[in-house]
């Protein structure tokens, strides 16, 4: 295992009624002005909005609403939120939703504290923000684990880049599985696969020999697979939902990454696909992973073989490492079909004239990947994903 330093700043309140039990104490720590940030308004339909407004009003807070945060949040939306936060002297940002809302607010919290453009500040000057508006997250859609880290995936529409910006860690996160029970099943499946992808992308990094972080990771993958199947069978199974919510958090709270240099090449490729097509993130990952893993197989054989046995329960008796590695990819592909995710870009409505060459050329090549891909190989993978 590599040398590491581990520190985790976000306080997590997990379980039913977590908001009612714990938000008042957290709100007492901050000033009067609270920005309530959310997406398209689903929280108004499922009762979460009314519950949180009641808690905020009882705490004597002045609520500034910031709504309409879209899937694949844009840099323009970040600037809009930062402007509102500055003008209203916001003391706390309360992000309510899934990864899109939570990521957007991380960057708002940083942008509101500096006068220059955060995108250029980070990507051109390679500087990191040091001041932030404090934040709390209330998770209503799981999968990304965004509440567990300070990275944010933001789409700069003018530059056609969907990439990482770095903001603040959340001071606290409320994970009430009951808040996620109204998620559409397609979103549940997509989110859970994103969690599984996070685990696999971390696992496929270095070091590549067996280590404690990877053994914990294997347990998380088994948990996601088992509980997603249980949820598809019975969407009202709050126990299975609780496991999926915590597995999503575990995948991104740093525990699985201790001592690791991660891979995330599939994510980088999907991010740029999203920049050009605004596609669903989990669906894009489901199409890309098996194809990319076929290309990765010669270099990733040992890790794939361990996943076959330790995650997918494939018997190793009488099989070579290469055979087990191939069976892992087959098992992953079969699972994607089983849970109803697409297997080709055409099934996602992505047009045939999409500029896959530009997507490949603009994709970040990750250092932790066991295979050093070229941009030409990434173009081949995208092409195979469509046909």
pLDDT in tens, 229-287: 999 999 999 999 999 999 999 999 999 999 999 999 999 999 999 999 999 999 999 99
Give the domain-ending residue among 148, 180, 212: 180
| pLDDT, tens only, 164-211 | 999 889 999 999 999 999 999 999 999 999 999 999 999 999 999 999
Give the mean pLDDT of the chain.
95
Task: State whether 289 and 161 are in the same domain.
Answer: no
106 domain-assigned: yes
Q: For the residues 90-99, what does the mean pLDDT come to?
A: 97
Task: State whether 208 and 290 are in the same domain.
Answer: yes
92: nearest Cα among 75, 69, 109? 109
Burial of 60 (0-12, 13-18, 19+ CB in 10 A): exposed
Question: What confidence score (pLDDT) does residue 2 get?
Answer: 75
The domain tally of the chain equals 2
120 domain-assigned: yes
Radius of gyration of the chain (CA): 21
Question: What confidence score (pLDDT) does residue 124 get?
Answer: 93
- Cα 307 to the chain's mean position, in Å? 21
Q: For the residues 352-366, what does the mean pLDDT come to?
A: 96
Q: Can you count the helices (H) and strands (E) in the chain?
A: 14, 8
**pTM greater than the 0.85 cutoff:** yes
CATH code for the domain of 164: 3.40.50.1970
6 domain-assigned: no
Task: State whether 168 and 212 are in the same domain.
Answer: no
3 domain-assigned: no
Task: State whether 115 and 189 are in the same domain.
Answer: no
- Between 212-233 and 281-310, two packed helices, what is the crossing angle to 10 degrees? 120
CATH code for the domain of 323: 1.20.1090.10
Give the domain-ending residue among 120, 153, 180: 180
Question: What confidence score (pLDDT) does residue 1 get?
Answer: 66
Supply the range of the domain harboring residue 50.
11-180
Task: State whether 176 and 189 are in the same domain.
Answer: no
Query: Cis omega before residue 207 (within 30°)?
Result: yes
Bridge partners, residue 137, by sequence? 95, 173
Task: State whether 263 and 362 are in the same domain.
Answer: yes
Give the domain-ending residue among 117, 150, 180: 180
384 pLDDT higher than 70: yes
High-pLDDT (> 90) share of the chain, %: 96
Task: State whether 176 and 276 are in the same domain.
Answer: no
Question: What confidence score (pLDDT) does residue 3 get?
Answer: 72
């Amino acid at each position: 295992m590599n040398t590491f330093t581990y520190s985790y700043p976000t306080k997590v309140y997990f379980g039913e009624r977590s908001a009612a039990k714990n938000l008042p104490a957290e709100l007492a720590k901050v000033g009067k002005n609270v920005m309530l940030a959310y997406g398209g308004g689903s929280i108004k339909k499922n009762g979460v909005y009314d519950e949180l407004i009641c808690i905020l009003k009882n705490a004597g807070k002045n609520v500034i609403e910031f709504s309409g945060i879209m899937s694949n949040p844009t840099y323009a939306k970040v600037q809009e939120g930062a402007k509102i936060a500055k003008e209203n002297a916001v003391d706390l940002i309360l992000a309510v939703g899934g990864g899109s809302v939570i990521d957007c607010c991380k960057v708002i919290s940083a942008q509101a504290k500096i006068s220059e453009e955060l995108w250029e500040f980070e990507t051109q000057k390679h500087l990191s923000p040091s001041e932030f508006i404090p934040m709390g997250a209330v998770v209503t859609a799981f999968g990304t684990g965004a509440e567990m880290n300070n990275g944010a995936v933001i789409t700069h529409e003018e530059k056609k880049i969907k990439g990482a910006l770095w903001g603040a860690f959340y001071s606290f996160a409320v994970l009430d599985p009951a808040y996620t029970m109204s998620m559409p099943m397609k979103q549940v499946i997509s989110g859970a696969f994103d969690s599984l992808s996070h685990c696999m992308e971390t696992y496929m990094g270095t070091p590549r020999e067996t280590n404690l972080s990877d053994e914990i990771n294997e347990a998380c993958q088994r948990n996601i697979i088992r509980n997603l199947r249980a949820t598809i069978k019975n969407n009202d199974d709050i126990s299975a939902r609780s496991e999926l919510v915590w597995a999503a958090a575990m995948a991104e709270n740093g525990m699985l990454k201790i001592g690791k240099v991660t891979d995330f090449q599939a994510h980088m490729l999907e991010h740029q696909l999203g920049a050009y097509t605004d596609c669903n993130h989990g669906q894009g990952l489901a199409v890309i992973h098996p194809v990319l893993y076929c290309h990765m197989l010669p270099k990733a054989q040992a890790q794939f073989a361990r996943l076959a046995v330790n995650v997918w329960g494939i018997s190793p008796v009488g099989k070579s490492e290469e055979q087990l590695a191939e069976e892992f990819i087959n098992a992953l592909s079969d699972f994607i079909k089983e849970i109803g995710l697409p297997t080709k870009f055409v099934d996602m409505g992505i047009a045939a004239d999409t500029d896959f060459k530009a997507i490949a050329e603009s994709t970040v090549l990750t250092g932790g990947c066991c295979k050093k891909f070229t941009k030409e190989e990434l173009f081949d993978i995208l092409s195979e994903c469509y046909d």
